Amino acid sequence: MNKYRHFIVRYTIVLVSTVLLSLINVRGNATAVQSLFTVLGISFSISMSLIISFDLSQIVNKKYREPIKLSVKATRNGLIWDFIFATFVLLLSSLNIIADWELVIKEHTIFHFQTFAVCFLVLSIFYEARNFIAIHDLNEEIADAIIKEKNGK
């Protein structure tokens, strides 16, 4: 359960934001969704480039190498899954029958799909930014581990 907690928290934030914005009649639109997805795609590409460029070959001490390798894989997998979900949301929002879908209760719109798509993509961009920082911190951790290993010999 702990492994999926951040997904549950993120999607709860997206749903609550969508409901609040829908209640005050703020609507997303196709242009906003496409623009946000473009930004997300660029940040995803940069983050994945940083991840695959990690060179752990200089770390021979298994004590340092294994946790770093696991951290890189976890970050990579999180980014990939987030981008897959974002792509799915983009595809759904491009279908007219779904893009204009609303849930109305007692004459109040409480859910609008385009608003959901915008909220989802905005939160995904924040997630990418957080992971970009994590990747940078991990890169520094790798550099420190290499220095420590070289000085220890």
Give residue 99's pLDDT. Answer: 64
Cα-trace Rg, the chain: 20
Give residue 118's pLDDT. Answer: 94
Give residue 153's pLDDT. Answer: 57
CA 52 to CA 81: how far, in whole Å?
Answer: 16
**pLDDT confidence of 44, banded at 50, 70, 90?**
very high
**Six-digit token pair at 33?**
């969704």
Q: Are 33 and 86 in contact (CB under 8 A)?
A: no
Q: Are 27 and 115 in contact (CB under 8 A)?
A: yes
In this structure, the number of other CB atoms found within 10 A of the CB of residue 52 comes to 9
Q: Are 51 and 135 in contact (CB under 8 A)?
A: yes
The answer on pLDDT for 33 being more than 60 is yes
Provide the percentage of residues in the chain whose pLDDT is more than 70: 93
More confident residue, 36 or 69: 36
pTM of the model: 0.82
User: What would the pLDDT profile of 65-116 be if each residue is shown by its tens digit?
Assistant: 888 888 888 888 989 999 999 999 999 888 876 767 776 777 777 788 889 9
Residue partners of 98: CB distance under 8 A and separation at least 6? 92, 113
Q: Which three-class secondary structure state does DSSP give residue 149?
A: helix
**Cα separations (Å) of 54 from 11, 49, 64, 92, 127?**
30, 9, 14, 34, 20
